[in-house]
Amino acid sequence: MSRFLNVIPVADAVAAVISISPPTVTETIPLDSAGGRILAAAVMADTDIPGFDRSVVDGYAVRAADTAGAGDAIPALLHSNGRIAMGRPDPSTSVGPGTCTYIPTGGVLPAGADAVVMVEYAEEAGDTILGKKAASHGENVLLRDEDFKQGEIVFLAGRRISPQDAGVLAACGCAVVTVAKKPVVGIISTGNELVPVTVVPGPGQVRDANASMLAAYLAEYGCVPRHYGIIPDEREAFEAVLARAVPECDVVLLSGGSSKDDRDMTAAVIASLGEVLVHGIAIAPGKPTIIGRIGSKPVFGLPGHPASAFVVLIAIVRPLLDRMLGIPVPLQRTEKATLAINIPSQRGREEYVRVMLENGVATPLFGKSGLLNTLVRSNGLVRIPAGAEGIEQGSTVEVILW
């Protein structure tokens, strides 16, 4: 067997990932626990919002024409005919020519009125109100269905529910919402040199950084991470942990052991339990990546270097999560920036360079692949397409923000 990886382009790797993606599974949950979840069905307004013409200020409901030309010097003199109560329409009150009705913010606009003069521009003199500002037709009034119309699509499926969305969903009567079920993603760290976070590493040992990094990302993205601990580079250990993880998870990520060293047995074990679709991607960092499946479950072998594992997570694994979560457009935040210095790149592989973004300028942080510090001193990645030999200083680049 060759010791070299047979790399394929990133686009082909992503296509392989999509080809093995399980379908989106949905569930219906209470609105109050839906923040951050992904809507799995479009949402319509069940009523007009608002359901009535309503004042947006405290003031006097008027006929706009009655206030034409009014000002401090020559106020409009209007007869006050009472007050609007909150929360119910008052069919007995209407605003005729030359009259007005006090209305609180959110009150139902009485018949006959078409505008509201703010209290700040009105003065009470017994039953007479001095309107000191002309109101135009519709001023300070929110019309029935101006926000959302009954039957209107308010949200499309695939949207991550923000706090504001939750408010609008409540206004639309969605006590429960249908969302994508959170995929359960197993995380297995491999390597004889790894020790858990609670242990001070001895000579030759390193703490397991990947499991926590992957778990935090997955949880934030809308998955349920499930830890399977650290396993040594021994075939029996791989087989035993996969036998446990595969039935319990929707996707399994193994970090480390994905290359072709004698100790790297991820590919061999996946091949023996299922199939390996891809072993080696033209991506940097992250070349030694495995895409496989055991039964119907996607299984990934991520490179052990944390920065490489993270880039592969974003570039290769995330498209799978997007499919499973029903997200049509990746939820990545990007920002345009000017490149501070040239970034050389090897043609033929897609490169992801960590950059620090400051005041619209992206400065690449070149460093050895094993470094952790560039992951946290950077704010994101600049992608250099496989066909490019680099990007020149001063170019506008898109930074994929962490």
How far CA 9 is from CA of 20, 303, 384, in Å, comes to: 17, 17, 13
Rounded to 5 degrees, what are φ and ψ at 116? -130, 130
Q: Does 191 bind Mg ion (CB under 5 A)?
A: yes
Spatial distance between the Cα atoms of 197 and 90, rounded to a whole number of angstroms: 67
Q: CB under 5 to 8 A by kind: which of ligand AMP, Mg ion, none does 303 bind?
A: ligand AMP
C-beta closer to ligand AMP: residue 62 or 309: 309
Q: Which residues lie closer than 8 Å to 346 by C-beta, 6 or more apart? A: 284, 389
- The least CB distance from residue 209 to ligand AMP, in Å, is 4
- The least CB distance from residue 301 to ligand AMP, in Å, is 9
Residues that bind ligand AMP (CB under 6 A): 189, 191, 193-194, 206, 208-210, 255-259, 303-306, 370
Q: Which residues lie closer than 8 Å to 128 by C-beta, 6 or more apart? A: 77, 78, 79, 80
3-state secondary structure of 204: coil
- The least CB distance from residue 16 to ligand AMP, in Å, is 20
Q: CB under 5 to 8 A by kind: which of ligand AMP, Mg ion, none does 37 bind?
A: none
Q: DSSP readout, 205-267?
A: -EE--HHHHHHHHHHHHT-EEEEEEEE-S-HHHHHHHHHHHHHH-SEEEEES--SSSTT--HH
Q: CB under 5 to 8 A by kind: which of Mg ion, ligand AMP, none does 370 bind?
A: ligand AMP
- The least CB distance from residue 43 to ligand AMP, in Å, is 41
Instruction: Please name which of 114, 113, 104 lies closest in space to residue 58, comparing C-alpha atoms.
Output: 104
C-beta closer to ligand AMP: residue 119 or 195: 195
Site string for Mg ion, 293-312 (x = CB under 5 A): -----------x--------
C-beta closer to Mg ion: residue 255 or 374: 255
Return the sign of the alpha-carbon dihedral for residues 9, 14, 15, 20.
positive
N- to C-terminal Cα distance for the chain?
Answer: 38
Question: CB under 5 A: which stretch of 69-77, 176-184, 190-198, 287-295 binds Mg ion?
Answer: 190-198
Spatial distance between the Cα atoms of 298 and 320, rounded to a whole number of angstroms: 9
Q: Which neighbouring-strand residues pair with 142?
A: 54
C-beta closer to ligand AMP: residue 363 or 402: 402
Query: Would you give the DSSP letter of residue 384?
Result: E
- The least CB distance from residue 371 to ligand AMP, in Å, is 11
Question: CB under 5 A: which stretch of 197-205, 248-256, 271-279, 351-359 binds Mg ion?
Answer: 248-256
C-beta closer to ligand AMP: residue 23 or 262: 262
Q: Does 288 bind Mg ion (CB under 5 A)?
A: no
C-beta closer to Mg ion: residue 356 or 371: 371
Site for Mg ion, rule CB under 5 A: 191, 256-257, 304
